[in-house]
Amino acid sequence: TTIDSDIAGPAPRHHTTQVKVGDVAVGGGAPIVVQSMTNTDTADIDGTIAQVAALARAGSEMVRITVDREEAAAAVPHIRDGLAKRGINTPLIGDFHYIGHKLLAAYPACAEALAKYRINPGNVGFKDKRDTQFADIIEIANKNNKPVRIGANWGSLDQELLTKLMDENAASANPRDVRAVTREAMVQSALLSAARAEELGMPKNRIILSAKVSAVQDLIAVYQDLASRSDYAIHLGLTEAGMGSKGIVASSAALGILLQQGIGDTIRISLTPEPGGDRTREVQVGQELLQTMGFRTFVPLVAACPGCGRTTSTTFQELARSIQDFIRDEMPNWKTKYPGVEELNVAVMGCIVNGPGESKHANIGISLPGTGEAPAAPVFVDGKKFRTLRGPTISADFKALVIDYIEQ
Ligand code: SF4
């Protein structure tokens, strides 16, 4: 059999104009950026600093905060200062709706402290008296040399534009067409707003576009259209993705397909946290999506078998979980800590069926004993058997070997 070595991979990245958000490059071939958003009241300075710090530590390269009222706008420079005192310079993005123009004008220190302003054309608009609101924000952004994200959203779409397109397509209206017309309104809303921003003097290298929808197929169609009709940098995200596995699956399906097609310069996985849940989960999922697709490496990757009836005890699950947590907690900045280590794959397997084979493909791997197997756990390093671990300290011993491996 002749093997074609030309393995299919992602399409070439869609060409976009690079935008600098603080020191972070978005688009124009830069690595795809993971971002997130706080859910604290921005007026709660300490609470917001703590959550931005947690998101940044988890690997969020930009963090968006809501700026919805005067108290929030007044808090922004203090949040920026508080983060700087902790050595955190992650760019902060202000999320503005309705009165953003007033807040940015009344609180110049807020306008200065933010690295980017997010504007929703659906509730700013630019066709009538609201025109000055959009123009005011662009003017302030221009004065401060700040980029903007023009973020159309299915749930707050420009109603005038939608009505106009519905009227124009009334003759062919059926339920399917309504979705198609709504998608077109999303794309037009983003593109017309971007064109208006350029008319107002904002250069293209300070404009990022997004068009968020909550249904996977609509999201894919909208972004494909947006990318084919412009070269603005693109923020990808599925809005209202939902809780738990549904949110993760829907976001991964939609964003995975678009990323594979070369579309998307920065991503946010919008997950509804479980009550008391950890906000940093959305950062972790975003990183894992990019890493498992081969676009970037963030943390060492742990491969673990699912376990089955051959798994003798909970030791296997505990070890897999413990190694995963250890790597994520101890090595969020591992590339800085261990310069030169580009990629690391760790395997934790439950028996000898696939254990040794899979472990040999990893940089370092362990195969725990399955049912009826001798109580010994061979460790493989760079494809060769390195040592056999035994006894109650297998987990700690293996972690030490992982660290030793990286350091060497
Ligand atoms: Fe089961 Fe062994 Fe396969 Fe793990 S490697 S799923 S324990 S057969």
* Res 176: pLDDT: 65
* Res 10: pLDDT: 92
User: Considering the chain, what percentage of its residues have pLDDT values greater than 70?
Assistant: 92
Is the dihedral angle over the CA atoms 378, 381, 386, 387 positive or is it negative? negative
For residues 398 and 206, the model is more confident at: 206
Ligand 1 atom 5: residue of nearest CA = 354
User: Considering the chain, what percentage of its residues have pLDDT values greater than 90?
Assistant: 54
Q: Which of 78-92, 180-194, 245-259, 329-343 has the weakest average pLDDT? A: 329-343
Q: How confident is the model at residue 173 (pLDDT cuts 50, 70, 90)?
A: low
User: DSSP character for 389?
Assistant: E
Ligand 1 atom 6: residue of nearest CA = 307
CA atoms within 13 A on the CB side of 311: 19
Residue 344 near residue 322 (C-beta atoms within 8 A): no
CA atoms within 13 A on the CB side of 45: 12
Contacts of 244 (CB under 8 A, 6+ apart): 274
Ligand 1 nearest atom to the CA of residue 354, by list position: 5
| Cα angle for residues 183, 187, 189 (degrees, 5° grid) | 110
Distance 252 CA to ligand 1 centre (A): 26
Ligand 1 nearest atom to the CA of residue 309, by list position: 1
User: DSSP character for 21?
Assistant: E
Q: How confident is the model at residue 155 (pLDDT cuts 50, 70, 90)?
A: confident
Pairing type for strands 377-381 and 364-367 reads antiparallel
- Cβ neighbours of 77 (radius 10 Å): 18
For residues 153 and 72, the model is more confident at: 72
The pair of structure tokens assigned to 182 is: 């709504």
Q: How confident is the model at residue 236 (pLDDT cuts 50, 70, 90)?
A: very high
Q: How confident is the model at residue 290 (pLDDT cuts 50, 70, 90)?
A: very high
**Three-class DSSP category at 307:** coil
Residue 358 assigned to a binding site: yes
Q: Does the pLDDT at position 213 exceed 70?
A: yes
Q: Does the pLDDT at position 273 exceed 80?
A: no
**Single-letter code of the amino acid located at 196:** R
Q: Does the pLDDT at position 64 exceed 70?
A: yes
Highest mean pLDDT among 65-74, 127-136, 297-306: 65-74
* Res 223: pLDDT: 97
For residues 314 and 68, the model is more confident at: 68
Q: How confident is the model at residue 126 (pLDDT cuts 50, 70, 90)?
A: low
For residues 362 and 8, the model is more confident at: 362
Residues whose beta carbon lies within 6 Å of some atom of ligand 1 = 305-308, 310-311, 349-351, 353-355, 370
Q: Which of 21-35, 121-135, 292-306 has the weakest average pLDDT? A: 121-135
For residues 96 and 153, the model is more confident at: 96
Ligand 1 nearest atom to the CA of residue 308, by list position: 1
For residues 131 and 216, the model is more confident at: 216
Q: Does the pLDDT at position 308 exceed 90?
A: no
Distance 304 CA to ligand 1 centre (A): 9
Residue 110 assigned to a binding site: no
Q: How confident is the model at residue 140 (pLDDT cuts 50, 70, 90)?
A: very high
Q: Does the pLDDT at position 145 exceed 90?
A: yes
Ligand 1 atom 2: residue of nearest CA = 351
Q: Does the pLDDT at position 67 exceed 70?
A: yes
* Res 144: pLDDT: 97
Ligand 1 nearest atom to the CA of residue 370, by list position: 7
Helical residues (DSSP H) of 280-393, grouped into ranges: 281-292, 315-330, 334-337, 355-361
* Res 332: pLDDT: 58
* Res 313: pLDDT: 59
Averaged confidence pLDDT in the chain: 88
The pair of structure tokens assigned to 21 is: 């958000």
Question: Is the pTM of the predicted complex or chain greater than 0.95?
Answer: no
